[in-house]
Amino acid sequence: MEAAAQVGLFDAIMGKPLTLEELSNDLSCDLRVLWTVTEELIALDYLEYQDSKVKLTEEAYEN
């Protein structure tokens, strides 16, 4: 989770869900690495998919 915060993942999707491709471009991150981190954050209930876009969960906003 710390790595996601350091690259700005949470800030990038706060208030606007993005596709993994959009996130990868915005953060200048490798898509495969971003997918791995995203899947871990989904398992921890910090992120979720809305259609094909990634967004913060309510729990993430509370923390």
Please give the model's pTM, rounded to 2 decimal places: 0.85
CA distances from residue 60 to 25, 31, 48, 55 in whole angstroms, order as listed: 23, 22, 10, 10
pLDDT band at 44 (very low <50, low <70, confident <90, very high): very high
Percent of the chain with pLDDT over 90: 76
Cα(48)–Cα(54) distance, integer angstroms? 6
Report pLDDT for 2.
Answer: 80
Question: Which carries the bigger pLDDT value, residue 44 or residue 61?
Answer: 44
Please report the DSSP string for 15-59 in residue order: TS-B-HHHHHHHHT--HHHHHHHHHHHHHTTSEEEETTEEEE-HH
CATH among 1.10.10.10, 1.10.357.10, 2.120.10.80, 3.30.470.30 for 2-62: 1.10.10.10
For the stretch 32-42, pLDDT in tens is 999 999 999 99
* Domain extent listing, the chain: 2-62
AA identity, residue 17: P
Report pLDDT for 33.
Answer: 92
